[in-house]
Structure 1
């Protein structure tokens, strides 16, 4: 395979010495995104020009891109989200696509759990006050134990999170677009309808892919069903929540809180949500652990041979 031209668009893959070594072992001519560029449009076309196989992450792969890359034959996905992939275009240009689900499930579930705990104990607000305002002010938080957490999306990540929460004596509700009754039974949790979950949960955490069934699935109507002091955590995809509606909800309900790792437009610099004292975020780090990066990278390398 020494003559096969391969390119890696992902910045975290490109920075990982182990993944670079393992890829170069089979593809010594592979090139990496060493400049840490956010590739899209013409810059992505230029980077992939002449490449036969590519490992992509969050970059948009659509008809406009593929029409300019006649040499590209295989695309392997680094990471689990595929909302950036136009599958009709993939089929149109007869490109083989490889994707492996669940490679970052523990990493994302741990982040969601950390966010839930942090919101309960006011960790994020206290940290901001101490570092930016030099304020030593304590306020009581609340225990997670005994609370009701609603998981929307009982796939790989949602299932791991449910397992974590059950150990902590949390009442877990789950909603999924598919029938997950058997899975709920095995986990010892309750499968409910979406509106019931929104009404009953103290914490709502999102773990769904972004597609036509989930875009803006949490908007003004759904937010109005939530408790006025509910916590909302999103580590799935930004477009699942209508951000302007969430802004109004948080503005009107000071005891409610939200933590997002994902945003509709990334980077989220200047996002109005970040101006709210009861909103907290991280820069899409859900899958960014050493272990998850290796698992995602190795799956992507294997996918090049599909």
Structure 2
């Protein structure tokens, strides 16, 4: 009998057909709307594997309903949507999809930086709304990116890829990380500084850390107050890392110049959110990895992880590797 699997969002047929050869697949047949919680609670009761998105909260109460679950394959790099401890305690493998989205997300991050600095969305609306009457010396002037100082908070894969792009613009590079990365410092010519120094010196601050209990609200009123009045904050990591209320206040009080956001505390972001009312905030609907090729790679990697975990192999992207010892002991 094939292992039973539930997929929480409609995937391309190419991915699903490959899985169907070895697995008994059920899938939520909607690409745009997340699976309702009550449906997920019912489906998880009997399945051996779960293929989920970052939109699903795989919390302790949901995990407790799973009687046969062996693996949760998350189609994302981050896995803050999963109660990792509960899954580990119950002997469930958890995997993610690192690596394949690094370059694409770095592209988007630098694109968001450019769009925010040079007011591209604001300028497009200005033209389309018929406000462009003539060229004028200071019309829609923005901030220079070339030769500016970029501060990267979190020098992981994506942070490093972002630094490589910034070098093409002759930017001065600073980074803050929980541990120094000496090889990257030599390779990229990037300087390790404290978070406080990074915020004070940077013209652009890019948030690239994963969301953890340590990084939640890492950027609040105190940190924003350290930034230059001409500086720009970019967040393509997770919304909960930045205190959105504090960010709004910093922007309306001209403590910082602008912000570019691909992520929010609540997603989808409510249309009445105060940050959406500000002309100096560029907002995107969490599209950091949204190229066709990359999303297909993410789905394929998650599928490979899932299949490996259900056919006796060790998945290549375990985020709770300590579980292997537990499983061997049980075996």
- Give 1:255 shift: 6.5
Structure 1 residues 49 and 129: CA distance shift in structure 2, 3 A:
farther
- Give 1:254 shift: 7.8
Which residue in the other structure is 1:274 paired with? 276
Q: How does 1:1-306 map to 2 (within 5 A)?
A: 3-9=2-8, 11=9, 14-27=10-23, 29-36=24-31, 37-39=33-35, 41-58=37-54, 59-131=56-128, 133-136=129-132, 138-253=139-254, 256-269=257-270, 270-304=272-306, 305-306=308-309
TM-score, length of structure 2 as denominator length: 0.86
Distance 1:210 1:56 in 2: 18
Secondary structure in 2 aligned to 1:222? helix
- For structure 1, the residue ranges without an aligned partner over 5 or more in a row are none
Q: 2:250–2:256: 8 Å Cα contact kept in structure 1?
A: no
Structure 1 residues 246 and 21: CA distance shift in structure 2, 3 A:
same
Distance 1:165 1:116 in 2: 10
Structure 1 residues 176 and 40: CA distance shift in structure 2, 3 A:
farther
Secondary structure in 2 aligned to 1:151? strand
CA RMSD of aligned residues (A): 1.7
- Give 1:99 shift: 2.5
Secondary structure in 2 aligned to 1:6? strand
Distance 1:79 1:22 in 2: 20
Of 239-248 and 100-109, the range deviating more from structure 2: 100-109
Larger radius of gyration: 2
Structure 1 residues 288 and 203: CA distance shift in structure 2, 3 A:
same
Q: 1:98–1:303: 8 Å Cα contact kept in structure 2?
A: yes
Q: 1:40–1:60: 8 Å Cα contact kept in structure 2?
A: no
Distance 1:169 1:301 in 2: 40
Aligned residue-pair number = 300
Q: 1:41–1:65: 8 Å Cα contact kept in structure 2?
A: no
- Give 1:177 shift: 1.2
1:72-106 Cα distance to aligned partner (Å, 9 max, x none):
22111211011111111102221122234222111
Distance 2:255 2:194 in 1: 27
Misfit runs of 4+, over 4 Å: none
Distance 1:77 1:195 in 2: 34
Distance 2:252 2:275 in 1: 9
Secondary structure in 2 aligned to 1:54? strand
Distance 2:125 2:39 in 1: 37
TM-score, length of structure 1 as denominator length: 0.92
Q: 2:260–2:281: 8 Å Cα contact kept in structure 1?
A: yes
